[in-house]
A and B are shown apart, each in its own frame.
Chain A
Amino acid sequence: MSQDLIYCTTGIGLFALGLYGVLFVAHILRKLIAINISGIGVFLVLLATAKHEGVVDPVPHAMVLTGIVVAVAGTALCLWLTVNIHCRQITQQGESK
């Protein structure tokens, strides 16, 4: 029970930490990392929920697996957009010189 609570509070702490990072850090890559940290916080809360009196509940595991897939896809999309903007800005600077 106490172990479950430790995991849960850690998860909420990570979520809050990531939230802070997304809102108050300017660099885009750091924002992305912060979002991923938030995501891990949510997954930790879910995994802590999976343990009911010694019996393991499979539903949160399925949710976390799906969540990881979504997080990977979202991060990849954001990274692609970032690289794309960066490349275009470089070519624009090259043209203006």
Chain B
Amino acid sequence: MGAPGIVMTSAQHFLPLVIGLPLLAAVFCLLVSNSRWSARFSILFASIHTLVVMQVLSSLRDSGSVWRYELGGWGAPLGIDLVLDGFSVILLFATTIVVLCVTTYSAAYFKTPQQTSRFWPLWWLLVAGLNAAFLSGDAFNLYVALEIIGLSSVALVALAGNVSAITAALRYALVGLLGSLCYLMGVALLYRAYGTLDLALLSQTVQGTPITWAALALISVGLLLKTALLPLHFWLPPAHAGAPAPVSAALSALVVKASFYVLARFWLDVCSPAASADALNLLGFFGACAIFWGCFAACRAKRLKLLVAYSTVAQLGYLFLLFPLTAAYGPSAGSAALAAVAYLIVAHAFAKAAMFMAAGSIQLACGYDDIDRLRGVVSHQPISVFTFAIAGASLIGLPPTGGFIAKWLLLNSAIDSGQWWWIAVILCGGLFSAIYIFRVLILAFTARQGEQSSSGGPTHPIPQTMMACGFMLAIATVALGFNAEWLLSYMDINLIGFLAGTEPLP
């Protein structure tokens, strides 16, 4: 690879490209507005996007340190910096793979010209927002990225076109706007107190003063609304279940993770002097409640997509175990917990996207997705049910999937930090997930008794590419289980105290 310095500087110029390319694609799809060309271009574009991100991934590991890129050559206090470290690169990786599969899936899923002409520009805008959120090293830039994500996902949910989906989208929009305003107020207070927006500079100057507590509280409430942690999760199930299947996949797999990522950044790094152990434990407690309530609601759900959406509420609960596990147990236990949670984010992103794609294929083929009528669906939808089963195995945390490794790492860090009660939560959560996954699978594999009691065979043939995309992601969750070392090697780069102590590279 030559001298590391040269590799670093050349590959670093890809960083603005990672945000700029999806924006370019959005504009292109808006101008072309020809559905067939938009779809073809988008698949090509998603492939290029994947290649660029993979290049960034490999050169980041070669350089072995955190990257800072000064946009336009302006320095940190005035200009806006892009920051890439172990945590953000893992999220960027998950985004890229899911975006590639969802793009290919959507090219086959959307049929009417009206839907396609609206879908593609919004979709690429969403991707640009996600990439911007993961790369941004500036508190206000994060706000802009979160708003781009929020507004484009609301419009994508409304694309489903029925009254219930649009009502869910409106509620989602109000929650999103409220969440961003709370976040912005917190950022305004931080700026007032410390006079900078750059996360690295903030993390060096922030102290545990009342104004920091107020700012952190506002930022947390805003981001918890967007991440849908238990008491604030009310908007998620209707929005994620009502959206078109590829949109649901992206929303559950990626969009809620973006706000979680920002939240983790603020609690563990930027405002860490203001984070008390009690508050961190409280976040973990809500996470545990979310696991149980999400599983319970998923067991009672009537529709398949609603079941998958409640499963997202439960799985998001696991992510919040990060906070109590890192609380006051030293950086070694902390970074192990963050590694586990980053791994869980990737495993869940793949599994949940695959699951929504399978559910979407079943819904499109049968014309309904009521769970009670899915009896014997495996006879005409074998691949989709198989995809659902593998993704479900990952959500439960069965071995050879990525979910198993993630839960294993999470259990390990719970043992290391000496908090046995979280072990019970993690194990019970896996058990309850098994109940709702097997509830669907048992029905799907049960032979139909009366020929006409439920509906007949598939009323609509569905494109092979749709099934293939879901299947590929399901394979990816298994591959993740076998390649744990590869992904974990990125966690060595820098996770806790990500930004502190990084200097701009020459």
**A32 closest partner in B (C-beta):** B174
Answer whether residue A6 sits at the interface, using C-beta atoms and an 8 A cutoff. no
Q: Whole-angstrom distance from the CB of B147 to the nearest CB of chain A? A: 5
Q: State whether B188 touches A85 (Cβ < 8 A).
A: no
CA distance in complex: A42, B185 (Å): 6
CA distance in complex: A63, B177 (Å): 16
Q: State whether A74 touches B170 (Cβ < 8 A).
A: no
Q: State whether B185 touches A15 (Cβ < 8 A).
A: yes
Q: Whole-angstrom distance from the CB of B79 to the nearest CB of chain A? A: 11
Tell me which of B44-52, B189-197, B315-323 binds A: B189-197
Q: Whole-angstrom distance from the CB of A11 to the nearest CB of chain B? A: 8
Answer whether residue A56 sits at the interface, using C-beta atoms and an 8 A cutoff. no
**A48 closest partner in B (C-beta):** B192
**A47 closest partner in B (C-beta):** B188
**A12 closest partner in B (C-beta):** B185
**B178 closest partner in A (C-beta):** A22
Which residues between 174 and 190 of chain B lie within 8 Å of chain A, taking CB atoms?
174, 176-178, 180-181, 184-185, 188-189
Interface string of A25-59 (1 = CB under 8 A from B): 00010011001001101100110010000000001
- Chain A contact-residue range equals 20 to 34
Q: Whole-angstrom distance from the CB of A46 to the nearest CB of chain B? A: 5
Residue of B140, B158, B174, B181 with highest tally of chain A CB at under 10 A: B181
Q: State whether B147 touches A74 (Cβ < 8 A).
A: yes
Q: Which residues of B contact A73 (CB under 8 A)?
A: 147, 151
Tell me which of B161-169, B425-433, B470-478 binds A: B161-169
Q: Which residues of A contact B151 (CB under 8 A)?
A: 70, 73-74, 77
Q: Which residues of A contact B177 (CB under 8 A)?
A: 35, 74, 78
CA distance in complex: A38, B180 (Å): 11
CA distance in complex: A75, B63 (Å): 44
**A76 closest partner in B (C-beta):** B151
Answer whether residue B27 sits at the interface, using C-beta atoms and an 8 A cutoff. no
Q: State whether A67 touches B178 (Cβ < 8 A).
A: no
Q: State whether A42 touches B191 (Cβ < 8 A).
A: no
Which residues between 64 and 82 of chain A lie within 8 Å of chain B, taking CB atoms?
66-67, 70, 73-74, 77-78, 81-82
Answer whether residue B274 sits at the interface, using C-beta atoms and an 8 A cutoff. no
CA distance in complex: A43, B243 (Å): 33
Q: State whether A38 touches B158 (Cβ < 8 A).
A: no
> With A35-B181, A74-B151 as given contacts, are A60 and B191 in contact (CB-CB < 8 Å)?
yes
Q: State whether A49 touches B191 (Cβ < 8 A).
A: yes
Q: Whole-angstrom distance from the CB of A31 to the nearest CB of chain B? A: 6
Q: State whether A81 touches B158 (Cβ < 8 A).
A: yes
Q: Which residues of B contact A45 (CB under 8 A)?
A: 185, 188-189, 192
Answer whether residue A2 sits at the interface, using C-beta atoms and an 8 A cutoff. no
Which residues between 131 and 154 of chain B lie within 8 Å of chain A, taking CB atoms?
140, 144, 147, 150-151, 154
Judged by DSSP, the binding face of A is helix
Q: Which residues of A contact B197 (CB under 8 A)?
A: 59
Q: Whole-angstrom distance from the CB of B214 to the nearest CB of chain A? A: 10
Q: Whole-angstrom distance from the CB of B167 to the nearest CB of chain A? A: 6
Q: Which residues of A contact B192 (CB under 8 A)?
A: 8, 45, 49
Q: Which residues of B contact A66 (CB under 8 A)?
A: 140, 144
> With A77-B154, A81-B158 as given contacts, are A22 and B144 in contact (CB-CB < 8 Å)?
no
Q: State whether B163 touches A92 (Cβ < 8 A).
A: yes
Answer whether residue A97 sits at the interface, using C-beta atoms and an 8 A cutoff. no
**B152 closest partner in A (C-beta):** A77
Answer whether residue A84 sits at the interface, using C-beta atoms and an 8 A cutoff. yes
Answer whether residue A89 sits at the interface, using C-beta atoms and an 8 A cutoff. yes
Q: Which residues of A contact B176 (CB under 8 A)?
A: 74
Q: Which residues of B contact A31 (CB under 8 A)?
A: 174
Q: State whether B170 touches A81 (Cβ < 8 A).
A: yes
Q: List 20 A-B contacts (CB under 8 A).
A: A15-B181, A22-B174, A31-B174, A42-B184, A42-B185, A46-B188, A46-B191, A49-B191, A60-B191, A63-B188, A67-B184, A70-B144, A74-B177, A77-B155, A78-B173, A81-B154, A84-B166, A85-B163, A85-B170, A92-B163
Binding site for A on B (CB under 8 A): 78, 140, 144, 147, 150-151, 154-155, 158, 163, 166-167, 169-170, 173-174, 176-178, 180-181, 184-185, 188-189, 191-192, 197
Q: Kindly list 20 other residue pairs between chains A and B, CB separation below 8 angstroms, not including A31-B174, A46-B188, A73-B147.
A: A15-B185, A32-B174, A35-B174, A35-B181, A42-B188, A45-B192, A46-B191, A49-B192, A59-B197, A60-B188, A63-B191, A66-B144, A70-B144, A70-B147, A74-B147, A77-B173, A81-B154, A84-B166, A85-B167, A85-B170
